[in-house]
Amino acid sequence: MDTRFDDIFTHPENEIFRVVFFPDRIYHARYLSATRSSRYRYYVSEVRSSADGTAIKGDVFLGGVRLCSMLRIEYAGIRLVEQAREFGRRLGPRVKAWVRLVGDGPDRAAEALVTLHWDPVIGAYAAEIWETLEPPAGSAHDHRVLPLMGRDAPITRVPHLSSLLGPARKVLLAFREDGVLYPTGQGIGKDDVQWDNDYLRSHQEPRTQEPSSGLNTVEDKNYLLDFQRGYFIPDAADVLPVNYRNAMTDPDNPERFDDNVIQMRWLFQRELGSELVFFHEVTVPPGTIEGTHRHIGSEELYYIVSGTGIAYMSDGDDPATDSYPLVDRQVFGVGPVKCRELPVKPGSVIFTKSGGVHGIRNPSDEPLKFVAFLYHTT
């Protein structure tokens, strides 16, 4: 850790947030696989997390001498527990992780299936991929750490991943059951093994301007932990939008019509970490509508940046809206729901928690634009 952070950790502007430099301190002093011996020390250079998974990049030192690059994968297993439970199974002491590392270019990539082991100290499954398991000449591994090393062990080496451990820019992850029933050891058929692949995660790309075209949906089926440190978009208007016809409306919704097309500029999707799903800009042209819909297991925030319109929020979601007109709204996939009709303008904010309802309509002569964050709730 950069020791200069110690000098600014308690500055008033950082004291308020308590987050600006805090994670960097945690990961340099935390428990990792070889820290059971004081002969080993880790230098953690980067940490990325997404939902249940975490990737930790860094170097391992033995006796004060740098040994090699290291990538640690941690997985809480919450979603895979749900998947296995539907089949009357529970997870055992091991799960598998599909790991794909991408370097400076798409031609610099490699993947492997790695065994993760339950670690009660951190309450998660974990494995460390080291560039080498060989100690320096004239040295030897500590007897407390050596039993953790080897193929499918908590500390392992995957030869074709070794050259990418340090320069990896992206880590793609998916997790599955170990392949045997716990605790009997009976095998699970290959086609029956359950996966946590970020719930069939996909993202949107403007491959065609045909509204609601399936060509714009890219199936990923994995978690992406992106180690790029920053992004700059000079002008979001230059990002090609994806068009959607009658978004969030059922076929019998009277507000559906062929020209009801809204635009979404997908600014960030899989690049975001933690539980964040996307940040995008939405344009609702005059006379069009984004259908009223309910959020389950996710939260979303709308911030109006230009134009005026009418937003809808389920009656009772925010008691402060009780004075606004009460109307019936056709909610996508749900049916009629009593909603409050809320006038919005630049600076208006609609924040919808899990279980809440929202939608937005533009009855004006000018486009209505808002930006939105969506994230999973756990």
Pairwise CA distance, residues 20 & 272, whole Å = 17
CATH number of 230-376: 2.60.120.10
Pairwise CA distance, residues 95 & 114, whole Å = 9
Pairwise CA distance, residues 137 & 131, whole Å = 16
- Residue 1: predicted pLDDT: 54
pLDDT, one tens digit per residue, over 133-153 is: 999 888 999 999 999 999 999
Residue with tokens 């995008």: 280
pLDDT, one tens digit per residue, over 21-66 is: 655 555 666 789 999 999 999 988 889 998 889 999 999 999 999 9
pLDDT, one tens digit per residue, over 149-177 is: 999 999 999 999 999 999 999 999 999 99
- Residue 352: predicted pLDDT: 97
What residues does each domain of the chain span? Answer: 31-196, 230-376
Q: How far is CA 200 from CA 127, 133, 173, 195, 248, in A?
A: 24, 35, 12, 9, 20
38 C-beta neighbours (distance < 10 Å), count: 9
Average model confidence (pLDDT) across the chain: 92
pLDDT, one tens digit per residue, over 198-228 is: 888 899 999 999 999 999 999 999 999 999 9
The share of the chain scoring above pLDDT 70, in percent, equals: 94
